[in-house]
Amino acid sequence: MSENAGTIPASLPLRNDLIGEEPYGAPQLDVPVCLNVNENPYAPRQDVVDSIARRVAEIAPTLNRYPDREHVELREAFVRYLERESGAKLSVDNVWGANGSNEIMLQLFMAFGGPGRTALSADPTYSMYPEYARDTFTGWQLAHRNADFTIDMAALKEQIATIRPAMVILTSPNNPTGTPLDMAELRDILEFCETVDVANAGEGVHPVVVIDEAYIEFRDPGTPSAVTLIGDHDHLAVSRTMSKAFAFAGARVGYVAASPGIVDCMRIVRMPYHLSAVTQAAALAAFDHTDEQLAEVDHLRRTREETADWLRKQTYAGQPLEVAPSQSNFLLFGGHFDKRDEIFAEMLSRGVLIRVVGPAGWLRVCMGTDDEMARFREALVESMRAVES
């Protein structure tokens, strides 16, 4: 339930299509163990905090002036990081930053969506995408995934051919399932989209394929990133964030890697001076300490695997719990929870906040500290037993 539900007076001229809608957002509750929004649970180290303070102090006397609206220094940092992290050799013209990957996605919808246009994704996936579509008057369609949450390639390609979308949006690893997108399948999708004309667009206009890699740093070692394909596909855009693995959720820094043409389309719709000088300074400080910011990724990956193994050994209603294979920092588990809302409530009463999301019968938990995960395990066992009794 949103914090301001029911407070909008009927006399306000809210858009007709927004009447009855509520703001998106996972619950923000003051509980001991928060495992519901896929954050990195480990706070920045003191040397990182000191660097952020120093960088911000340096630009503070200039805050009477607008920031660099092209954020060139930060884009250079994105380029260096992507080469180090994924081996992609890009230029400043290939990257663009914004206030979290949410703003990146909204800019993509603003640039390529709109009335008469449609965006297509594969269900289940991130629940904000249809809200971006709603806010930009873009049609929204889905192709359902396979039972194991991998892409149903035949169904997706059939939808692409039928709908002729302006955008095809796929998340890898997928949220809420953690499922990675196979690179051979991505190449197939890209090549197929190059043969399809977009509905309500000029001849020879083809869909943009957007890969949302918000959780990509948690993938298994050796797994390639979609950013390595940008040089071969002008209609590929890869969204990234510093919120998750980089332990920078509160700073709100996202970015996209794409062809210069896609970046220029996004620059058309961006708000002027959209990325504050303070945000740019903080992000640069974090990149000064990349190793420290990513120090816990390996540990969180191990925690994910250990937690998945433990969950599979638990039972509910006489059946072992299902766990969707994940290459993210969260796990979708359960599969047959007939009373998942009750289990969620029991967990919350024990001070552990997880997420009711995804298909019926499933719950999602993100990886916390060792102490938090121990409390999660205790609370889950107690909560399932309480619901079953």
DSSP 107-159: HHHHHH-STT-EEEEEES--TTHHHHHHHTT-EEEEEEPPTTSS--HHHHHHH
Q: What does the pLDDT read at residue 99?
A: 97
Per-residue pLDDT, averaged over 290-301, amounts to 96
**Residue 203's Cα: distance from chain center in Å?**
32
β pairing state of 236-241 and 208-212? parallel
CATH class belonging to 16-43+295-388: alpha beta
pLDDT band of 170, cuts 50, 70, 90: very high
CATH numeric code, 46-293: 3.40.640.10
Q: Please state, in angstroms and rounded to a whole number, the distance separating the CA atoms of residues 126 and 121.
A: 9
Q: What does the pLDDT read at residue 6?
A: 61
* pLDDT at residue 57 greater than cutoff 80: yes
Q: What does the pLDDT read at residue 1?
A: 36
- Write out pLDDT tens, residues 86-129: 999 999 999 999 999 999 999 999 999 999 999 999 999 999 99
Q: Please state, in angstroms and rounded to a whole number, the distance separating the CA atoms of residues 248 and 45.
A: 12
Q: Please state, in angstroms and rounded to a whole number, the distance separating the CA atoms of residues 130 and 139.
A: 9
Neighbours of 23 (CB within 10 A): 9
Written as six digits, the tokens of 51 are 């660097």
Higher model confidence: residue 4 or residue 370?
Answer: 370
Residue ranges per structural domain of the chain:
16-43+295-388, 46-293
pTM as predicted: 0.94
Nearest to 168 by CA among 151, 150, 193, 201: 193
β pairing state of 33-34 and 352-353? parallel
- Write out pLDDT tens, residues 145-160: 999 999 999 999 999 9
- Write out pLDDT tens, residues 314-333: 999 999 999 999 999 999 99
Residue count of the chain: 389
* pLDDT at residue 2 greater than cutoff 80: no
Q: What does the pLDDT read at residue 27?
A: 74
Q: Please state, in angstroms and rounded to a whole number, the distance separating the CA atoms of residues 161 and 150.
A: 20
Burial of 24 (0-12, 13-18, 19+ CB in 10 A): exposed
- Write out pLDDT tens, residues 258-285: 999 999 999 999 999 999 999 999 999 9
Per-residue pLDDT, averaged over 127-143, amounts to 97
Q: pLDDT above 90 covers what percent of the chain?
A: 94
With the CA atoms of 276, 295, 347 and 332 taken in that order, what torsion angle do they form, in degrees rounded to the nearest 10?
90
The answer to whether 363 touches 332, Cβ cutoff 8 Å, is: yes
